[in-house]
Chain A
């Protein structure tokens, strides 16, 4: 069974569109994260939720809006996509006690 799963794996879309990436974890963790990996392969935190509450919000454009319907899901919605949004987005989960973090397989977003 996949611990942290993201869909879709690949997403190609035109500038200006709105898209969503879904993430689910079956580990019973209470904290979920979104990370962005840029073209230079550097991973950086975007958001973190604990039990559906936002606890980390980095300097991310307002066009990015995370939504957590329950503690097992953290979706990422992106409005008005721009070329610079092209990257690989990773979902991760752990606990508030900073236990081992597990990552999804990533979603490669390409904006054309």
Chain B
């Protein structure tokens, strides 16, 4: 059974800092990994999707890496801003078509002005 763990559970940083969020998964037979952002009381916004054959994906100040063999992914946020404050969720898909996303419990990020 796939288990996804995110560390840390919560993180508070001053504005402008670069930071790294960690995600680990127990079964390396994944199809892809997706990072989401969830604002309080809102839905999930997709940030980055990394296919199992890829090592990293970038979007603006965000960079996600994937080490499938070791079961790890990181989300790097450069020059953090107060607007980045949210819960960040990591989710993986198995290597079967139409499979579910298995989520971690998220990292709650607060960026202080």
Contact = CB atoms under 8 A, between A and B. Distances in A.
Chains A and B form a bound pair: yes
Interface of A: 31, 33, 35, 40-45, 48, 50, 55-56, 90, 92, 96-106, 108
Contact of B105 (A42, A45, A55, A92): A42
A50 B99 CA distance: 10
A48 B93 CA distance: 13
Contacts of A41: 87, 105-106
A90 B44 contact: yes
A109 B100 CA distance: 23
A56 B34 CA distance: 20
A105 B97 contact: no
Interface residues of B, number: 24
A96 B49 contact: no
Given A40-B105, A43-B89, A56-B98, 17 more contacts: A31-B98, A33-B101, A35-B101, A41-B106, A43-B91, A44-B103, A48-B100, A56-B99, A98-B93, A98-B97, A98-B98, A100-B34, A101-B34, A101-B46, A102-B46, A105-B42, A105-B43
Chain B interface SS verdict (over half): strand
Contacts of A44: 103
A42 B101 CA distance: 12
Interface string B1-32: 00000000000000000000000000000011
B100 A45 contact: yes
Nearest to A40: B105
Contacts of A102: 46
A55 B93 CA distance: 15
